Structure 1
Amino acid sequence: MPPGPQESPFRLAVLISGGGTTLVNFLEQIADGRLPVEIPLVIASRDCKGVDRARAAGLRCEVIRPRDYESVDRFSDAVFALIREAGADLVTMAGFLSRLQIPADFEQRVVNIHPALIPSFCGQGMYGHHVHEAVIARGCKVSGCTVHFADNEYDHGPIILQRCVPVYSDDTADTLAARVFEAECEAYPEAIRLIAHRRIDVREGRVHVAPGVD
């Protein structure tokens, strides 16, 4: 588990592949005091709007493209070398769409958020609007988001917390995505706070949350 709470600020590495909206949410919550962390490093798997947003906020942002490496292992080595250099306590996958092999020293130090209630509507190919379209097509009455520790399987690893939202009969993928994202904006920072304050314990693949004050 990552160290914390600690005298120095809890440090996040943020991994992105798109618009950087989750990163923006982190920055807004840091600015208003709800998320007591700092972000020493952002890594993007491609040139995207999130790179511009990160650099505009004064953050170090590196673009590491999977296509520039001969294998997932080599790509992952490059990513985690930068993360170690930055001294990150926790890695947050924030719309990061590239396959990553998590090394042993980062086990239970990488978290992901998925826009559905795992184990439903998850796995390879289930991301973004693909998820919301599948939820609507199945006729689900609720959806939501899941924050979980990432491992070396798609959308796998111990679940930290989940939040539900209703699915309405006239929903489109866009309207449902917006509602789920509102839930994500609260759920992801909450999970980070729990980890930073060492209130998370993983036993036999299940997350147990100790009582306390965030």
Structure 2
Amino acid sequence: MSSSSPSRRLPVAVFLSGTGRTLENLLTRIAEGSLPLEIRWVASSRPDVRGLQIAQDAGLEHSVMRRREYASTADYSGALFEACRSHGVELVVMAGFLCRVQIPSDFHNRVVNIHPSLIPAFCGKGYYGDRVHRAVLEYGVKLTGCTVHFVDDEYDHGPIIAQRAVPVMEGDTVERLAARVFETECQLYPAVLAAIAEGRVRVRGRWVEVTGDQP
């Protein structure tokens, strides 16, 4: 990522498919002044989801981009990223976006995602939402957590930027564990995005270095 002026807000797009809780969290942090982002565009893969209502209520430009309306993943990805370019977007923030995309060369290491486990555990195709937490409980691991990573053309595969662990408690349910992991996500994701916006993230192959305050 290129360096940024401390007073500059990084122009981003947010891709979502559901409730918009992550978008809501980011908007709160932006309003508080702790997250130097400017959300230029919100894309949803589904109509009539709460995330679109959150975008509308915040006065954000938003669109429904349905995968089924495009002949291929390449066509769908092309439409998404062309819209990002037209909005002057420099970083794409995945926020519960459930469609696979192909990353164009000009957005290499400019698309980020948060996954509700400690990658490479409990990740990949089919691992999303409560499916992740259910698998964690069924396996019996003692630690789970969340991972922020750059997105490439494979599921949950790009370079890892930061991770935080969340203990699995005896008697946990999917709902309880999911709530604790999401609480941690709400802290980690804005911290990583702030580091990117401030030009404190460097990528060397699969190794990502964050200078200054650690997420």
| Partner of residue 116, structure 1 | 117
Question: Partner letter of residue 20 of structure 1?
Answer: G
Give the superposition deviation at 1:201: 1.1
Q: 1:80 to 1:103 in 2, by over 3 A?
A: same
Preserved CA contact (<8 Å) 1:141 1:167: yes
Gaps of 5+ in 2: none
Question: How far apart are residue 49 of structure 1 and its match?
Answer: 1.3
Change (3 A) 1:114 1:72: same
Distance apart, 1:89 and its partner CA:
1.5
TM-score (norm 2): 0.96
SS at structure 1 position matched to 2:14: strand
Number of the residue aligned with 1:72: 73
% identical aligned pairs: 51
Q: Do structure 1's residue 14 and structure 2's residue 14 form an aligned pair? A: yes
Aligned counterparts of 1:12 and 1:181: Cα–Cα separation in 2:
22
Uncovered stretches (5+) of structure 1, i.e. residues with no partner? none
TM-score, with length taken from structure 1: 0.96
CA distance in 1, matches of 2:197, 2:153: 23
Q: Distance in 2 between matches of 1:139 and 1:25?
A: 30
Contact 2:93 2:111 (8 Å CA) reproduced: yes
Contact 2:8 2:36 in 1 (8 A): no
Q: Render the CA deviation track for 1:67-117: whole Å, top value 9, x for unaligned.
A: 000000000011001101111121000000001111000000000000000
For residue 211 of structure 1, report the CA deviation from its aligned partner: 2.6
Q: CA RMSD in A?
A: 1.4
Letter in 2 for 1:198: G
Paired residue for 1:28? 28
CA offset at residue 198 of structure 1? 1.2
Give a deviation string over 1:22-50, Cα, whole Å, max 9, x none: 00000000111111211010000111111
Give 1:61's aligned residue.
Answer: 62
The separation in 1 between residues aligned to 2:212 and 2:88, in whole angstroms, is 28
Distance 1:85 1:42 in 2: 13
Question: Counterpart of 1:94?
Answer: 95
For residue 38 of structure 1, what is the aligned residue in structure 2? 38
Q: Distance in 2 between matches of 1:11 and 1:65?
A: 23
1:125 is matched with 126
Divergent runs of 4+, >4 A: none
